[in-house]
Chains A and B, each alone.
Chain A
C-alpha cells in the first residue's frame, strides 16, 4: 500500500530525512517511532502530499504522490498531531465541509457522519462551535474528518495527544477495526505501549535515518537478550545507534 524509495528531504543545509525506504502492506498497522526531531513528521507530511520530497519517491497504492497527487490524496486520510480546525464551524458542519472536499454526495455524507459521530461519541457536541471543544474532542473530530471518505490509507501523527483514557481506548479499538477491514494505518507515536499493543510492524528513525525495522519480536531480538518490551528495545536500539554519523544541527532558514 505504501512504497517509499530513497526518500530524502532537506531544509537548507539540514537533512531532516536521509534516503529512507519503506514498504507497508495493505491492512497493516505500521508504527513510526523516534525521538523528537528525528524526522517522523517530515516523513508523514511528504506521505500525505503536503511537503515535496527533495529526492526519492512515494507510492500510495498505485499512485505516485508527485505525479498522481489528486488520486493519491483521495485515498488517504490524515490526522495531524495538533489538529487546528475552523473554530467558527460546528463539528457537523466541518464534516460536511470535508465530505464536499472529497466529493461525497449529501446522502452518503450524512449517513457516514451519523455513523462516525456515534462511533467517536460526539453526539452531544456535533452542533456546537468547534471553538468550544476541548483538545481531545478536536482530536476525535479530526479523526472523523479523516475517515469521512473511507480512506484506504490512514496517516496519523501522534494519535494519543490530548485523549483521555476512555478516548484513547476507543481510538485504539477503532484503529484495529479499520485495519481488519483493510485500511492501512501509518502512525507516528511516542507512546510505546500503544505501538506495542496495536502495531504489526515498526520502524525506528533517528536523525533522518531508519535504524531498525521489523515486527515487535524482531526488534526485541535485535535489541539483545533481556529485552522485556518495546520500550526496552527502543531505548537499546536508539542508544546502540550512537555510532551513527553526526548530523550538523544547522536548521538553516527553518
Chain B
C-alpha cells in the first residue's frame, strides 16, 4: 500500500517521534509547534472571514464574487507550487543521497516513479495545504455551504497539487538533455535574462490593457482585479479550478463537473507523461548530470586577491564565509534556481503595483479614502509576503546547507555565535539591497514623495534586518545537517514556523511603519505630507521603536539559535 521508497522517510518520522517521546524538551517543542500551527489555522480562518465580511459591506464593490477571490489566491499558489516543485524534482531525481543506492537496486521504474512522485508531492504540498485549509473553511462559512463542499473541494484541489508536481517532473526529466552540463550556468543566465525581459514586456502589455479599461468607479476595480489574476485566460488550470469552485458555490453543478473533469484529466495526462519521461529518460539524464566528463577548470587566485584588496574592512573569517556562500549559491543549481522565485515574485509585485497605480486614478473621491488605506496596507502586506517567501527559501536553510561540511567551520577558531553572525552578514547586504531598491521605487511609483521613499528605504532595511535575523536564528534552531537533498530544508516544519513567526514580526513592523507614514483622522487613515513627516515626533519615535524592536529580535533569535546549536552539537 505504501510506496516502497517512502518507507524509509515514514520510518524515520516514526523513530523521531519515538525518540521525542523519551526526551521531555523535544516533546514539549513538538507540542508547541503543533499548537502554533493550529493557532495559525484558526487565526487565518477568523481573519479571512472578517475580511470577506468587511468587503461585503462595500456595496458597490464586486469582490465577493467567489470566482475573483478564489482565482486571485489560486493563481499565485499554483505559480509558487510550480517553482517549489521544480526545485524539489531536480533535487529528488538527481542530487538525492539515496539515488546511488536506489538506482543500483533492481527496482522497477514504476516503483521508482511512484516513490519519487509522492516524495516531491508531499514535501511541497503539505505547507500549501495548511494555508489552503483555513481558506476553504472561510468559503464554506461565508457562502453557507453544506459539508459535502469539503469532499468536493478536496477533489477539486487535488489537480491543483498534482498538475505542478507532474509538470515539474516532466521539465526536470528533459532539462539535462536540453542543457549540456558544461554550459548549464551560461544557459541559465541567458534564460534568466530572457525570462526577465519577457516579464517586463508582459508588464507593459498588461499595464496598457488596464489603461484601456473605462473609468467607471468601483466596479472597474473588480474588472482590474480580474485582469490582474488573468481570470479571462481560460487555458490556465487555476482558472478551471477557481471557476469550478465558484460554480459550486453558485449552485451551477453542470459547469462545476465539466471543469472538475477537465482539471482531473489534465492532471492524469501530465502524471502519465511524467511517468513515461522518467521511465525512458531519467537514467540518461541522471548519467549526464552526475557524469564527471564535463569538468571545468576554475581559476581562483585572482578573484581571491581582489577579495583581499577590496573587502579589507570585513574580518577575514566572516569574509571567508560570505565568499564561500556566494560561490556555493551560484554554482548549486538547486539553490540558484530558487533565485527564480525572487525574480518571479519581484516581477509579480511590480505587475500588481502597476494595477495599484491605475486603481488610484480610476477611483472617485468618495471611495478613494477607503481604497487608499486598503491599497497602502495591501502593498505593505505584499512586500512582507515577498520578503518572507524569499527568506524562507534562501536564508532560513543557509545553516543546514553546511551539511556534512559543517565540521570545517566548527573545528575552526570560530564559535557558533561567530558563524551565525557571518551567515547573517552574508544575506543582509544582498537582501537589503534588492528589497530596499524595489520597495523604495515602489513608493515612488505610487506617487509617494521623496521623503516618504527615504523613510520607506530606512524602514525596509530595519525590517530586513529583523527578518534575516529571525531566519538565521530559527534556521539554527531547526538546523538539520543530515538532509538527503537541499530543497527539503525549506519544506520542513521549521520553515513553516519561521514563516508564521516572520508574519507576526511583520505585523508589528507594519503597525509601527503605518504610524510613521500615516495619520488617523476620524475613521480614515491619511498619508502624511512631507512637512508632517519631517516635523512629526512620531516619525523619529517610530523609527527608533522600529530599530529597538528589530535589534531585540536579532539578539533573541540569534541567542535561541546559538543555544540550540550548542546543545545539539554537544
Q: A84-B405, A93-B327 are in contact. Are A101 and B412 (CB under 8 A)?
A: yes
Complex Cα distance A16/B122, Å? 38
Complex Cα distance A83/B404, Å? 8
Complex Cα distance A97/B320, Å? 5
B328/A89 in contact, CB under 8 A: yes
Q: At the interface with chain B, which of A44-52, A162-170, A189-197, A223-231?
A: A44-52
Complex Cα distance A96/B301, Å? 9
Complex Cα distance A80/B320, Å? 21
B319/A100 in contact, CB under 8 A: yes
A101/B409 in contact, CB under 8 A: yes
B409/A92 in contact, CB under 8 A: no
A86/B324 in contact, CB under 8 A: yes
- Answer yes or no: B408 CB below 8 A from chain A CBs: yes
Q: Name the residue of chain A whose CB is nearest to the CB of B18.
A: A253
Which of B19, B327, B570 interacts with A88 by CB under 8 Å? Answer: B327
B19/A253 in contact, CB under 8 A: yes
B304/A129 in contact, CB under 8 A: no
B316/A69 in contact, CB under 8 A: no
Q: At the interface with chain B, which of A18-26, A102-110, A205-213, A240-248?
A: A102-110
Q: Name the residue of chain B whose CB is nearest to the CB of A52.
A: B570
Q: In the complex, what residues of B have CB within 8 A of residue A82's CB?
A: 404
From residue 297 to 349 of chain B, which have CB atoms closer than 8 A to chain A?
297-301, 304-305, 308, 315-317, 319-321, 323-324, 327-328, 331-332
Contact with A along B401-416 (1 / 0, CB 8 A): 0011101111111110
- Answer yes or no: B59 CB below 8 A from chain A CBs: no
Q: Name the residue of chain B whose CB is nearest to the CB of A76.
A: B411
A74/B408 in contact, CB under 8 A: no
B290 to chain A minimum Cβ distance, whole angstroms, is 9
Q: In the complex, what residues of B have CB within 8 A of residue A83's CB?
A: 407
A235 to chain B minimum Cβ distance, whole angstroms, is 32
B328/A86 in contact, CB under 8 A: yes
Q: A51-B570, A52-B570 are in contact. Are A128 and B295 (CB under 8 A)?
A: yes
Q: In the complex, what residues of A have CB within 8 A of residue B296's CB?
A: 128-129
How many chain B residues sit at the interface, stated as a range, is 35 or more
A98/B292 in contact, CB under 8 A: no
B183 to chain A minimum Cβ distance, whole angstroms, is 15
Complex Cα distance A89/B324, Å? 8
From residue 104 to 136 of chain A, which have CB atoms closer than 8 A to chain B?
104-106, 110, 127-129, 132
Q: In the complex, what residues of A have CB within 8 A of residue B403's CB?
A: 84
Q: In the complex, what residues of B have CB within 8 A of residue A32's CB?
A: none
B323 to chain A minimum Cβ distance, whole angstroms, is 7
Q: Name the residue of chain B whose CB is nearest to the CB of A49.
A: B411
A50/B320 in contact, CB under 8 A: no
A51/B569 in contact, CB under 8 A: yes
Q: Name the residue of chain B whose CB is nearest to the CB of A110.
A: B301
Complex Cα distance A99/B323, Å? 13
- Answer yes or no: A30 CB below 8 A from chain B CBs: no
- Answer yes or no: A78 CB below 8 A from chain B CBs: yes
Q: In the complex, what residues of B have CB within 8 A of residue A106's CB?
A: 304-305, 308
- Answer yes or no: A180 CB below 8 A from chain B CBs: no
B513 to chain A minimum Cβ distance, whole angstroms, is 38
- Answer yes or no: A73 CB below 8 A from chain B CBs: yes
Complex Cα distance A125/B321, Å? 23
Complex Cα distance A69/B409, Å? 13
Q: In the complex, what residues of B have CB within 8 A of residue A86's CB?
A: 324, 328, 405, 408
B412/A90 in contact, CB under 8 A: no
Q: In the complex, what residues of B have CB within 8 A of residue A48's CB?
A: 411
A39 to chain B minimum Cβ distance, whole angstroms, is 16
Q: In the complex, what residues of B have CB within 8 A of residue A128's CB?
A: 295-298
Q: Name the residue of chain A whose CB is nearest to the CB of B411.
A: A78
B299/A127 in contact, CB under 8 A: yes
Complex Cα distance A85/B308, Å? 23
Q: Name the residue of chain B whose CB is nearest to the CB of A98.
A: B408
Q: Name the residue of chain A whose CB is nearest to the CB of B414.
A: A101
B292/A80 in contact, CB under 8 A: no
B320 to chain A minimum Cβ distance, whole angstroms, is 3
Complex Cα distance A90/B304, Å? 13
A74/B297 in contact, CB under 8 A: no
Contact with B along A146-171 (1 / 0, CB 8 A): 00000000000000000000000000
Which of A51, A89, A102 interacts with B413 by CB under 8 Å? Answer: A102
Q: In the complex, what residues of B have CB within 8 A of residue A51's CB?
A: 569-570
Complex Cα distance A138/B498, Å? 36
B339 to chain A minimum Cβ distance, whole angstroms, is 15
A18 to chain B minimum Cβ distance, whole angstroms, is 18
Q: In the complex, what residues of A have CB within 8 A of residue B405's CB?
A: 84-86
Complex Cα distance A93/B22, Å? 44
B349 to chain A minimum Cβ distance, whole angstroms, is 30
Q: In the complex, what residues of B have CB within 8 A of residue A203's CB?
A: none
A128 to chain B minimum Cβ distance, whole angstroms, is 5
Contact with A along B396-431 (1 / 0, CB 8 A): 000000011101111111110000000000000000
- Answer yes or no: A177 CB below 8 A from chain B CBs: no
Q: In the complex, what residues of B have CB within 8 A of residue A69's CB?
A: 415
B407/A103 in contact, CB under 8 A: no
Q: In the complex, what residues of B have CB within 8 A of residue A145's CB?
A: 408
Q: A106-B305, A128-B295 are in contact. Are A100 and B407 (CB under 8 A)?
A: no
Q: A102-B413, A128-B295, A128-B297 are in contact. Are A253 and B22 (CB under 8 A)?
A: yes
Q: A100-B316, A103-B316 are in contact. Are A129 and B410 (CB under 8 A)?
A: no
Q: In the complex, what residues of B have CB within 8 A of residue A102's CB?
A: 317, 412-413
B297/A105 in contact, CB under 8 A: no
Q: Name the residue of chain B whose CB is nearest to the CB of A254.
A: B19
Q: In the complex, what residues of B have CB within 8 A of residue A70's CB?
A: 413-415
Q: In the complex, what residues of A have CB within 8 A of residue B320's CB?
A: 96-101
A101/B19 in contact, CB under 8 A: no
Complex Cα distance A49/B410, Å? 8
Beyond A51-B570, A132-B295: 14 further Cβ-contacts under 8 Å? A48-B411, A70-B414, A73-B413, A76-B411, A84-B405, A84-B407, A86-B408, A88-B331, A100-B319, A101-B413, A102-B317, A103-B315, A103-B317, A127-B297
A-B interface, 4 closest residue pairs, ranked by CB to CB distance from nearest: A100-B320, A84-B404, A52-B570, A106-B308
5 contacts between A and B (CB under 8 A): A85-B408, A86-B328, A101-B321, A101-B408, A128-B297
